[in-house]
């Protein structure tokens, strides 16, 4: 029996259920979902005030105490510092974009000054304010159902992650998929982190069968940028990497975009970079991931040079 730890929200259970099904298919083993309550559950306090790791710490404690064998996280919730004794694998990434769900099927361009848009994310608030459209950003917390339920009531729309909606089969309510040129996603958005004890060779091997090296490399670049900026998951920092096979044999192309903004949207610094990275297949995954992370750190340095440090302060 393989015990998979998960938060108890509808989205977390859907995500962990997907991982559990993949493990069953890969191994033929029985899999049990174990619900773990985290600090971030059951509170309406904005995540920015709760701090980094509020959806992660109790799952990791259960993993370390061997109450569970594998933990499933939304990768963007993980602190950038990874414990040495734990290892993370990344299944194929879902759509990383943000989406708008607005009353009357409206898009952002349909919403006028004073429109109330629900989001508790400093990153989203900064980019919405930068549009100069006069939107009123309303802080919200709660599960997907709660947030969508406010649309047409006290809110004109809400911004959510496309991946979460697809995983709970509510993507049909999306009124606009937001172009990353308008709303650059959070680092690692849309990616799951399958975490296990490094010393547990059995579960590490099982988890590695779920890994997608291109998704892992993309997330590594984005999170390395975030870490070099010394910013947490609730900071107004955005990043998105695309990794794809190159026309050159034995290489992959990495395209990375990063942004740091003032909360009021008065300044948003955006930069991008490209790199050709060697790719020797599954055996070279660790090298590919480290090289992608180096690209992320380099872009972070460029952002610091153009003023990101002052914006983060």
**Which residues are the active-site residues?**
77
Q: Is 46 exposed, middle or buried (0-12, 13-18, 19+ CB in 10 A)?
A: middle
Which residues lie closer than 8 Å to 124 by C-beta, 6 or more apart? 98, 137, 159, 183
Residue 203 to residue 293: CA distance in whole angstroms: 25
How many other CB atoms sit within 10 Å of the CB of residue 198? Answer: 13
Edge-to-edge, what's the strand order for the sheet holding 157-161? 136-138, 116-118, 157-161, 98-102, 176-177
Contact 15, 70 (CB under 8 A): no
- Do 207 and 70 form a contact (C-beta atoms < 8 A)? yes
Separation between Cα atoms, residue 59 and residue 36, nearest integer Å: 6
Torsion region of 253: left, alpha or beta (phi above 0 gives left; psi -120 to 50 gives alpha): beta
Separation between Cα atoms, residue 231 and residue 223, nearest integer Å: 10
Q: Which residues pair with 261 in a beta bridge?
A: 268
Backbone angles phi and psi of 126, in degrees to 5:
-60, -45
Structure token digits, residue 81? 């510092």
Q: Do 55 and 40 contact (CB within 8 A), yes or no? A: yes
């Amino acid at each position: 029996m393989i015990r998979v730890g998960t938060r108890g929200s509808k989205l977390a259970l859907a995500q962990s259920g997907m991982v559990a099904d993949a493990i069953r298919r890969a191994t033929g083993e029985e899999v049990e979902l174990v619900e773990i309550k985290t600090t971030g559950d059951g509170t309406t306090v904005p995540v920015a005030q709760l701090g980094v790791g509020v959806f992660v710490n109790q799952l990791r404690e259960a993993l370390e105490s061997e109450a569970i064998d594998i933990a499933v996280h939304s990768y963007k919730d993980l602190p950038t510092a990874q414990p040495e004794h734990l290892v993370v694998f990344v299944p194929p990434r879902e759509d990383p974009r943000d989406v708008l769900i607005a009353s009357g099927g409206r898009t952002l361009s349909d919403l006028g000054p004073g429109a109330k848009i629900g989001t508790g994310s400093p990153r989203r608030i900064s980019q919405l304010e930068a549009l100069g459209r006069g939107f009123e950003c309303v802080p919200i917390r709660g599960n997907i159902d709660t947030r969508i339920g406010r649309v047409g009531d006290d809110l004109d729309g809400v911004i959510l992650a496309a991946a979460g909606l697809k995983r709970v089969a509510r993507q049909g309510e999306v009124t606009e998929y937001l172009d990353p040129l308008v709303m650059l996603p959070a680092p690692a958005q849309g990616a799951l982190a399958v975490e296990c004890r490094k010393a547990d060779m059995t579960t590490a091997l099982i988890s590695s069968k779920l890994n997608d090296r291109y998704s892992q490399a993309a997330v590594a670049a984005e999170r390395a940028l975030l870490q070099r900026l010394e910013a947490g998951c609730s900071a107004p920092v955005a990043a998105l990497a695309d990794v794809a096979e190159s026309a050159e044999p034995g290489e992959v192309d990495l395209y990375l975009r990063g942004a740091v903004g003032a909360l009021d949207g008065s300044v948003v610094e955006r930069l991008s970079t490209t790199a050709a990275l060697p790719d020797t297949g599954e055996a070279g995954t660790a090298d590919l991931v480290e090289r992608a992370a180096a690209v992320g750190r380099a872009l972070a340095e460029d952002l610091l040079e153009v003023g990101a440090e002052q914006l983060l302060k």
